[in-house]
Amino acid sequence: MERKNVTIAPDEIAHQRGFTELIRTMLLARESRPAACVDTFGCQQNVADGEKLMGMLKEMGFSLTDEPKEADVVILNTCAIREHAEQRVFGNLGALTHTKKANPHQIICLCGCMAQEDRVSKRVKESYRHVDLVFGPHALWKFPELLWQVYESHGRVFAVEDEVGSIAEGLPTLRQEGAKAWVSIMYGCNNFCSYCIVPYVRGRERSRDKDAVLAEVRELVEAGYKEITLLGQNVNSYGNDLGGGYDFADLLSDIDQIPGDYLIRFMSSHPKDATHKLFDVMARCSHVAKQLHLPFQSGNNRVLKEMNRRYTREQYLEEINYAKAKMPNLVLTSDVIIGFPGETEAEAMETVSLVEDVGFDALFTFIYSPRPGTKAAELPDPVPRSEKQKWFDRLLEVQNAKSAAAHAAYVGKTLRVLVDGESEDTDWPLSSRTEGNRLVRVKGNKSLIGTFADVKITDSNTWALYGEAVTV
């Protein structure tokens, strides 16, 4: 695929606006304003996609609701990473038979990564006949046209063709209220880790033009957003398809030049593409959070090879040690899979030992979940789930102790945090995050929401810090 064929032409985006106007005109003729519900599952990239769907729906004339029973259009924006998420989606789809029975004109849509899987779209076509529209990530930019086709045909529409993927600039976006915003800098993945379905449903890697990214970040900073997260399936490979040698570290350097009081985060990162140059830039840039989420998945080299991760335990540790040397206060998190097909107890314990050696601040931990269509799903997997659970429990025991100790060391210190909302804990009514993305429950006035504040840490546990806002 040549780079010139990646970006959707402006006239095609304009063509979609024509369908938006057709729907808007149709809806204006109704007695009451129709509502739409977008229910998003999974990663931050899905959240960003959901914001685009909501932006398009708003331009069509829909109001937005969180209640499917109140909606004229219901969209399930799905994730395909784990079996549990898939089961939840099918459960929700089944429950929507009741809302459609109460409102026969309700339009039900399934989109996102699950929808792009051939086996899923076939199952929906055959067994969930109340679903009107199914489309994958590649067709998101054509949502107005697809929805219009449903209205016009009074039939079912499926747009799940296998594609390498594209980039659509200029789509309307309805961002979540608050201080945080998401910016997709690239789409797709070329890595084909043996356990992961993402490359099959998100297509090949394609990077947005740097000027488009910089313009979007600048607009967000000027609009008052305080934390901006750069998104991609593998942000570290940004620019590989652009030519000219401009890479992710260069993009961070250019973003850092944008004036304002804000933080930049990024995810996800792949160790095979994390460079010393990247860590040097992170250390130097004042707006880039000194926080790194770098999934290692396994601490055993044989398992890493079976996973097709393309780095070794030793290489990963070298990267981490370099990053720590450059940023002594760096907050480190990672993803870990226990119980990969064929993994032995000794190999799983090598993962535990890596966790002990590195001293991660927190981990996102998973027992292996087979995804149909991936190479790992075809591998022999003789170890019972009960045995994997024992290995998993050992991992949690080690990490929870380290997280609790890391948090306890903050008690008595004053930290700068971004107060991002209200907490569910009435004793600590505000929720906030440190530069290292640590959760801090805060006693303070609601007027702090959306601002940076100094908080004195008075207590901690394994999962959070607790403190009181410092008044000036």
CATH of the domain at 100: 3.40.50.12160
Q: Do residues 365 and 445 share a domain?
A: no
User: Tokens 């707006």 correspond to what residue?
Assistant: 287
Of 408, 435, 451, which one is at a domain's C-terminal end? 408
Q: Within this chain, do residues 349 and 424 fall inside the same structural domain, yes or no?
A: no
422 and 403 part of one domain: no
252 and 234 fall within a common domain: yes
Contact between 306 and 300 (Cβ < 8 Å): no
Are residues 437 and 393 both part of a single domain?
A: no
Are residues 207 and 311 both part of a single domain? yes
Chain Cα centroid distance, residue 94: 25
Crossing angle for the helix pair 143-153 and 44-60, to the nearest 10 degrees? 50
Mind giving me the DSSP string for 390-437? Answer: HHHHHHHHHHHHHHHHHHHTTTT-EEEEEEEEE-S-TTS-EEEEETT-
Cis amide bond preceding 268, omega within 30:
yes
Predicted local confidence at residue 1, as pLDDT: 41
Predicted local confidence at residue 2, as pLDDT = 46
Kindly state whether residue 296 falls inside one of the protein's structural domains: yes
Are both 222 and 320 inside the same structural domain?
yes
Domain match, 404 and 425 both: no
Any domain includes 460: yes
Give the domain range for residue 264.
180-408
Secondary structure of the chain: what % helix, strand, coil (to 5)? 40, 20, 35
The number of distinct structural domains making up the chain is 3
SS3 (DSSP) at 120: helix
Q: What is the pLDDT of residue 83?
A: 81
Residue 3: inside a domain, yes or no?
no
Give me the tens of pLDDT residue by residue for the chain, a chain 472 residues long. 445 578 999 999 999 999 999 999 999 999 889 999 999 998 899 999 999 999 999 999 999 999 999 999 999 999 888 888 889 999 999 999 999 999 999 999 999 999 999 999 999 999 999 999 999 999 999 999 999 999 999 999 999 998 888 999 999 999 988 899 999 999 999 999 999 999 999 999 999 999 999 999 999 999 999 999 999 999 999 999 998 899 999 999 999 999 999 999 999 899 999 999 999 999 999 999 999 999 999 999 999 999 999 999 999 999 999 999 999 999 999 999 999 999 999 999 999 999 999 999 999 999 999 999 999 999 999 999 999 999 999 999 999 999 999 999 999 999 999 999 999 888 999 999 999 999 999 999 999 999 999 999 999 999 999 999 997 5
Kindly state whether residues 255 and 401 are assigned to the same domain. yes
* Phi-psi map region of 274: left, alpha, beta (phi>0 left; psi -120 to 50 alpha): beta
The three-class DSSP label of residue 333 is: strand
Residue 164 lies in a domain: no
- CA-closest candidate to residue 75, choices 43, 41, 35, 111: 111
Looking at 364, 381, 408, which one is the last position of a domain? 408
Tokens of 224: 């008052």
Residue that is last in its domain, among 95, 127, 159: 159
pLDDT score recorded for residue 42? 85
Residues 309 and 339 in one domain: yes
pTM for this prediction: 0.94
Q: Is residue 170 part of a domain?
A: no
Say what the pLDDT of residue 85 is: 83
3-class SS at 456?
strand
Asked whether residue 173 is assigned to any structural domain, the reply reads no
- Do 403 and 287 share a structural domain? yes
In a domain? residue 166: no
- Same domain for 340 and 252? yes
